[in-house]
Amino acid sequence: MNDLLDKKLENLSYEDAFERLTKIIQLLEDGEISLDESIKYYEQGIELKNYCEKKLKNAEMKIKKVLNNNIDDKT
């Protein structure tokens, strides 16, 4: 469970980060951890959410760039 609190996110794939986030959500929903642990997991969950959003935004920008290049090549 401590690996869920690992702060090193920069090398995680989107899928790995999302999996960690899903596990944290499940832990919080189960309600079987202490308040202090809940706060730590909540903070990490926010970091993972932001990381996943950033990864998705970067992927979206890359796709838009490819599409724009494809349109430019056809004109």
In this prediction, residue 40 has a pLDDT band, given cuts at 50, 70 and 90, of very high
68 is written with which tokens? 């724009």
- Indicate the pTM of the whole model: 0.84
**10-17 contacts at long range (C-beta below 8 A, 24 or more positions apart):** 12/51, 14/52, 14/55, 14/56, 14/59, 17/48, 17/51, 17/52, 17/55
Judged against a pLDDT cut of 90, whether residue 71 lies above it is answered with no
| Percentage of the residues of the chain whose pLDDT score is greater than 70 | 95
- Delineate the domains of the chain, giving CATH numbers in brackets: 12-74 (1.10.287)
Average pLDDT over residues 57-72: 89
Average pLDDT over residues 55-62: 96
Nearest 5°: phi and psi at 8?
-80, 95
DSSP code at position 75: -
**Can you give the pLDDT at residue 75?**
61
Instruction: Confirm if 23 and 4 have CB atoms less than 8 A apart.
Output: yes
Judged against a pLDDT cut of 90, whether residue 16 lies above it is answered with yes
